[in-house]
Amino acid sequence: KNEVEQSPQNLTAQEGEFITINCSYSVGISALHWLQQHPGGGIVSLFMLSSGKKKHGRLIATINIQEKHSSLHITASHPRDSAVYICAVAANTGNQFYFGTGTSLTVIP
Amino acid sequence: KAGVTQTPRYLIKTRGQQVTLSCSPISGHRSVSWYQQTPGQGLQFLFEYFSETQRNKGNFPGRFSGRQFSNSRSEMNVSTLELGDSALYLCASSFGTGDNSPLHFGNGTRLTVT
């Protein structure tokens, strides 16, 4: 049983397209993190959310606590956005962290 | 400000040996958490330390242990290595705990067990 489900698993887009990655979770959470991992392993934290919406440049993250769902949007996608995007939740019981399996995004010029 | 530093970057060990990995957090950060990443299981949470105390622990056997020092640097130890322990081990630091602060990841230690 996966506490965090992401979709899609793989995504190919043309440069300039609007992209949405979805994350659903089944546990109560204190916070949700969106992470970006480039080939070679380095992980960068994009957002930490506990409610509402956050925007950073071309990236937007939203969360609906009642529906246990979050989305990551990329506007005007660019080849440098090609990476694996991972959703992670900090559960509010047991202080556990759970991860989605990631969405592999390829943006074609 | 220096980022999160993990040493060593690569490590090759033999089954049955033990290994110690090190993580130096960003200055001022009090929390260090550890994660295992494998192609089959993805990212999995190992444990989190905050102010030298283990705050929580994932579902890993007791062979996996850690500690945090007074300067917030952390070490992770794996005893009696198994082939399945081959993975990328990542640590992350944060000012507060992972449920209220953004995580800053190191580049990881790639462990190969032969």
pLDDT digits (tens, 9 = 90+) for B41-85: 999 999 999 999 998 899 999 999 999 999 999 999 999 999 999
pLDDT at A92: 86
Q: Per-residue pLDDT for A93 more than 90? A: no
**Confidence label for A2 from pLDDT (cuts 50, 70 and 90):** confident
**pLDDT for A13-27, tens place per residue?**
999 999 999 999 999
Q: Per-residue pLDDT for B27 more than 90? A: yes
Q: Which of B6, B99, B107, B112 to mutate to probe the A interface, most A CBs <10 Å?
A: B99
- Compute the distance between CA of residue B91 and CA of residue B104 in angstroms, rounded to an integer: 8
- Helix, strand, coil % over all residues of chain B, rounded to 5: 5, 55, 45
Do B92 and B35 touch, CB atoms closer than 8 A? Answer: yes
- Compute the distance between CA of residue A107 and CA of residue A99 in angstroms, rounded to an integer: 23
Q: Do A41 and B100 touch (CB under 8 A)?
A: no
pLDDT at A6: 97
pLDDT at A1: 67
pLDDT at B5: 97
Q: Across residues A47-61, what is the average pLDDT? A: 95
- Compute the distance between CA of residue A49 and CA of residue A31 in angstroms, rounded to an integer: 6
Of B42, B56, B108, the CB nearest to A95: B56
Mean pLDDT over the full length of chain B: 94
- Chain A CB contacts of B105 below 8 Å: 35, 42-45
Q: Across residues B5-26, what is the average pLDDT? A: 97
Q: What is the distance of C-alpha B9 from the center of its chain?
A: 12
pLDDT at A96: 83
Both structure tokens of B99: 């449920």
Q: Is B56 on the interface with A (CB under 8 A)?
A: yes
Task: Write the DSSP symbol of residue B25.
Answer: P
